[in-house]
């Protein structure tokens, strides 16, 4: 049956309308996404660049250009340098833990067991809950007096006695000691990102052909050998994508640090996103805040390019 359409008299072939042309149709379909990105990402980015080159404040948002003065002031600021270092520590440590734990969770969730649906729901719950509410819950759990974590440690004999592993004090000041405060924000960030990474890795593990695993089992390969020689190489691109998503979310995260420590004690948990907020919004220096925020762009762009290229090289054709 012939499709309706016009016929070219010269060639005798049918000619469709403008929407039948693949190039035009592709551009029309992708146009809404391009417009959305331009409106929601491109416009604020251009405005941030303009602000970073000016002396704008919340009291006077005029754009009087001052060149690279704000970037030089940021680099000379010791709090900025500390925030930059903390951002890398916060991101790399939390995402390394996330990748390891998510692989363990995904492997366990592939096995058939009773209550599997409930476990999957509980694993996904931190991702579906508003992060601000979840972090407030953690703020109570890290309370220096009523912390349930300290109660468990005391009950286990790890805290509160003279010969306890964690010391004789009855409570740990989770958010008041530099080392413990950084460990606390890393723990909460791991709790937040773990569900997403688990789902991504679960999809990667589910895509591995079962006959490969069965053949390795028949050949007598141990679980560790199957993991190292089959599952990890085949899912390395998926692991890279999970790591990339986690790095982007963590590197730009403000809520966890802001709710738990507000960058304290003495800026020891300050990160670029929180310092941008304190400097640009609470401090009223829009130009400085914009300049600090722009330092995240080249770092994230370089990391994204590197991870995506690595994932492409490790793809199994």
Domain borders along the chain are: 78-313
- When mean pLDDT is compared over 9-13, 27-31, 268-272, the highest value belongs to 268-272
Global pTM reads 0.84
pLDDT value for 16: 54
- Selecting from 3.40.50.1370, 1.10.3720.10, 3.40.50.720, 3.30.1360.120, what CATH number does the domain 78-313 have? 1.10.3720.10
Residues of the chain with pLDDT > 90, as a percent, come to 33
Per-residue HEC secondary structure of the chain comes to CCCCCEECCCCCCEECCHHHCHHHHHHHHHHHHHHHHHHHHHHHHHHHHHHHCECCCCCCCCCCECCCHHHHHHHHCHHHHHHHHHHHHHHHHHHHHHHHHHHHHHHHHHCCCCCHHHHHHHHHHHHHCCHHHHHHHHHHHCCCCCCHHHHHHHHCCCCCCCCCCCCCCCCCCCCCCHHHHHHHHHHHHHHHHHHHHHHHHHHHHHCCCHHHHHHHHHCCCCHHHHHHHHHHHHHHHHHHHHHHHHHHHHHCCCHHHHHHCCCCCCCCCCCHHHHHHHHHHHCCCHHHHHHHHHCHHHHHHHHHHHHHHHHHHCCCC
What average pLDDT score do residues 189-194 get?
Answer: 93
Model confidence pLDDT, tens digit, residues 65-83? 888 999 999 999 999 999 9
């Amino acid at each position: 049956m012939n499709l309706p359409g016009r016929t070219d008299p010269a060639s005798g072939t049918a000619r469709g309308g403008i929407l039948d042309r693949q190039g035009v149709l592709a551009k029309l379909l992708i146009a809404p996404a391009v417009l959305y990105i331009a409106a929601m990402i491109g416009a604020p980015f251009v405005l941030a660049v303009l602000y970073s080159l000016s002396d704008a404040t919340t009291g006077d948002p005029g754009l009087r250009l001052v060149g690279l003065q704000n970037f030089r002031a940021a680099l000379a600021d010791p709090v900025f340098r500390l925030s930059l270092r903390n951002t890398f520590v916060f991101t790399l440590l939390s995402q390394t833990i996330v990748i390891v734990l998510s692989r363990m969770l995904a492997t366990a969730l592939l096995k058939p067991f009773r209550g599997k649906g409930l476990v999957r729901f509980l694993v996904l719950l931190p991702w579906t809950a508003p992060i601000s509410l979840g972090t407030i819950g953690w703020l109570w759990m890290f309370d220096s007096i009523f912390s349930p974590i300290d109660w468990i440690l005391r009950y286990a004999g790890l805290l509160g006695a003279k010969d306890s592993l964690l010391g004789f004090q009855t409570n740990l000041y989770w958010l008041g000691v530099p080392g413990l405060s950084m460990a606390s924000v890393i723990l909460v960030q791991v709790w937040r990102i773990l569900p997403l990474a688990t789902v991504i890795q679960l999809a990667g593990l589910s895509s591995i052909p079962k006959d490969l695993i069965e053949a390795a089992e028949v050949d007598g390969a141990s679980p560790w050998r199957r993991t190292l020689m089959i599952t990890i190489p085949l899912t390395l691109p998926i692991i890279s994508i999970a790591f990339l998503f986690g790095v982007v979310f963590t590197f730009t995260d403000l809520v966890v640090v802001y709710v738990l420590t507000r960058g304290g004690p003495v800026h020891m948990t300050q990160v670029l996103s929180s310092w941008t907020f304190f400097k640009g919004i609470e401090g009223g220096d829009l130009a400085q805040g914009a300049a600090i925020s722009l330092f995240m762009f080249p770092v994230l762009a370089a990391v994204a390019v590197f991870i995506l290229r690595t994932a492409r090289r490790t793809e199994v054709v």
